[in-house]
Amino acid sequence: MKIRKSSSKRLPPLQAQLERDTYVTMKNKTKNQESDSDLEENVIDAVTSKRIMKAVKKQQEEIFDEENKSSKDKMEMPAVFESTMAVDSDNEVDDEWSDYEDENANTIDPQEEQIFNQFVSGIQADQLVDRINLPQTEAAKNSNLHPKIVQVYSKVGLLLSRYKSGKLPKAFKVIPSLKNWESVLALTNPMEWTPHAVYEATRIFASNLNARMSQVFYFNILLEHVRINIKETSKLNVHLYNALKKSVYKPAAFFKGIILPLVEDQCTLREATIVGSVITKVSIPVLHSSAALLKLAEMDYSPACSIFIKCLLDKKYAMPFQVIDSLVYHFARFANDSRELPVLWHQAFLVFCQRYKDDLTDEQKEVLLSLAGKKEHYLISKEIKRELTQSATSRMQQ
């Protein structure tokens, strides 16, 4: 018997069919890719390629020339001053802040000011700038600095005289790290800086200088700007006010470079009130405040001294007994003074009794009660006597 063969093709095995269905084949793939590459190659013709190569060659020549020029400049000028106008990202200062104006500073009683004049021999405000305002050319002559450095920092000073907001040059920020930073700083003509620049400079110098160097900066630059601004406008620019707050970062320099010189120079009531408000708003270590109170109590009296003493006493520190004893002597020495004491003195006396009545000895309380009877104020003296008599304990009993 013959077996009839089928004319249809035999199917492949099942495994082969599964493998074939797993992978999708793309027909004419290579052909399409080759056609696309041909199109891309035909986009740029020979003329355009020649122009591109010519432009690239020209740019390479310019870069080579600039590198040679910069290498020559590095030999003429120290590396610190290469990036003169380079800047980094600092906090920008808004130009739209309003000026600081203290209500108490602008409302001064004429009678109180007359009493104030009895203690003040007069301040020569016109000579404030003469303390450090040397001409820029003279400062350049006296300093043995490289001419390139003089040129760089003269331009930095011109920028600071117009500065409002934004970033500062790196050349200015390296001044605190220089050995002769005072000479370099004088080249920038600090008395021509804007209040915005003074604030930024105070931030930099307070953070990077030690207490002694910061004191020089505070006294010669920051204090002069503050006093001149108050004299011209009867208030203080908000940027200078914030600069004073930043200066407390170095408390010793703040007291030695700003507070004590103000008292020694017999500053005005307005100046003392505005600067004193900084003390009340900023936290100050107790040891620095105690040392400042000790020094203020020993200085010749002025109404500004009472303002600063009152501001420090209002911070309610736990003072050493030595400071309390010096303050008792400070008030008691006016028992035989024939002058009429200002209200500021009575206010400071009252605050002292309120805060530290429990730290006084019985003898000290008797002395202060006798003083309150001799130097009497129709409102404040009653409160002083009440505070001293109603104090339950004394230092000896403790």
Q: What is the DSSP string of 141-155?
A: HHS---HHHHHHHHH
- pLDDT at residue 21 in the model: 59
**Cα-to-chain-centroid distance, residue 173:** 13
Q: Cα separation of 179 and 206, whole Å?
A: 16
**Confidence bin at 29 (pLDDT 50/70/90):** very low
Answer whether 293's CB lies under 8 Å from 260's CB: no
Averaged pLDDT score across all residues of the chain? 78
The mean pLDDT value for 269-296 works out to 95
Q: Cα separation of 339 and 118, whole Å?
A: 8
pLDDT at 91 over 50: no
What residue type is assigned to position 343 of the chain? V
- pLDDT at residue 45 in the model: 63
Answer whether 116's CB lies under 8 Å from 269's CB: yes
Using alpha carbons only, give the angle 185, 187, 191 rounded to the nearest 5 degrees: 75
Q: Cα separation of 230 and 167, whole Å?
A: 27
Answer whether 239's CB lies under 8 Å from 196's CB: yes
**Cα-to-chain-centroid distance, residue 30:** 69
Which range has the worst mean pLDDT, 8-12, 87-91, 143-147?
87-91
Q: Sketch the domain layout of the chain as residue ranges.
A: 145-284, 285-397
Answer whether 218's CB lies under 8 Å from 185's CB: no
- pLDDT at residue 144 in the model: 75
**Cα-to-chain-centroid distance, residue 95:** 16
Farthest CA pair distance, the chain: 155
pLDDT at 344 over 80: yes
Using alpha carbons only, give the angle 368, 263, 357 rounded to the nearest 5 degrees: 25
Per DSSP (E only), the strands in the chain are none
Which range has the worst mean pLDDT, 117-121, 231-235, 239-243, 298-302?
117-121
Q: Cα separation of 309 and 327, whole Å?
A: 9
Answer whether 335's CB lies under 8 Å from 370's CB: yes
What residue type is assigned to position 350 of the chain? L
> pTM above the 0.75 mark?
no
pLDDT at 115 over 60: no
- pLDDT at residue 391 in the model: 75
The predicted-structure confidence for 35-57, as pLDDT tens digits, reads as follows: 454 544 455 566 777 777 777 77
Q: Cα separation of 302 and 342, whole Å?
A: 10
Using only the alpha carbons of the chain, give its radius of gyration: 38
